[in-house]
């Protein structure tokens, strides 16, 4: 599956070739991994605004910004979002997905055995597509079109994934993070504070972005 908008460019600093798909950039080995991961995917529709993909029987619509993220990150989600010990995976668990986007991570968690995903997404356009993807695919999800707040956090969940570009700072108000959690942080100082307070491990870091977790 190769979407339109593909081109070969050269990095400004080292003048090495990379592959660009819209605004996403891939080194050659990353692009090969993307082709392998998406070998069975079908691109049903691709415009500047959105794409529709057929993946393992699911039909997933994505806004352009989420499409770029999905293409560049999907092959890494298993090592970022799932415990390496399969016996401690998310099968049968309820996942709290903060920053659910168009439902791309809800799809991932359900595919990997989650019984339900609670999706929190404040962006109106993304939320409408999330609602559409839920209806089309019959996902077992709870949809919350709102900003994350510790005051309204659902009590009945087993696993937390957070990628909300700002709301993760609220976690500092907790005394502990007891449930398995993975958080994407877009601020180095905040990442360090969260990591030290809750003894979290950094599993990915690039520029100001880091992914930290407690499992």
Mean pLDDT is lowest, of 41-50, 93-102, 126-135, 168-177, for 41-50
The span from the CA of 104 to the CA of 51, in Å, is 12
**CATH code of the domain made up of 6-164:** 3.40.50.150
Calculated CA dihedral for residues 187, 190, 195, 201, nearest 10 degrees: -10
Asked if residue 190 has pLDDT above 70, the reply is: yes
CB of 134 closer than 8 Å to CB of 141: yes
Enumerate the domain spans of the chain. 6-164
Which pLDDT does position 155 carry in this prediction? 83
Backbone angles phi, psi at 205, to 5 degrees: -150, 130
Mean pLDDT is lowest, of 57-71, 118-132, 143-157, for 57-71
Q: What global pTM score does this model have?
A: 0.85
Helix, strand or coil, per DSSP, at residue 201: strand
pLDDT of 132-189, one tens digit each? 999 999 999 999 999 999 999 988 999 999 999 889 999 999 999 999 999 999 999 9
When the pLDDT of each residue in the chain is averaged and rounded to a whole number, the result is: 88
Mean pLDDT is lowest, of 12-16, 104-108, 145-149, for 12-16
CB of 134 closer than 8 Å to CB of 143: yes
């Amino acid at each position: 599956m190769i979407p339109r908008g593909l081109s070969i460019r050269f990095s400004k600093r080292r003048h090495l070739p990379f592959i660009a798909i819209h605004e996403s950039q891939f080194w050659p080995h990353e692009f090969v991994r993307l082709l392998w991961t998406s070998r069975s995917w079908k691109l049903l529709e691709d415009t500047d605004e959105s794409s529709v993909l057929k993946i393992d029987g699911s039909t997933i619509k994505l806004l352009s910004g989420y499409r770029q993220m999905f293409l560049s990150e999907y092959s890494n989600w298993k090592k970022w979002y799932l415990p390496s010990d399969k016996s401690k995976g998310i099968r049968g668990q309820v996942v709290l997905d903060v920053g659910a986007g168009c439902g791309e991570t809800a799809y991932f968690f359900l595919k990997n055995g989650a019984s339900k995903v609670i999706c929190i997404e404040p962006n109106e356009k993304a939320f409408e597509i999330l609602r559409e993807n839920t209806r089309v695919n019959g996902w077992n999800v709870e949809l919350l079109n709102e900003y994350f707040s510790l005051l309204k956090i659902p009590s009945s969940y087993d696993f937390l994934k957070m990628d909300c570009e700002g709301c993760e700072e609220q976690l500092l108000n907790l005394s502990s993070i007891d449930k398995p959690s993975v958080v994407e942080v877009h601020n180095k100082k905040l990442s360090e504070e969260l990591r030290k307070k809750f003894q979290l491990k950094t599993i990915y870091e690039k520029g100001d972005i880091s992914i930290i977790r407690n499992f």
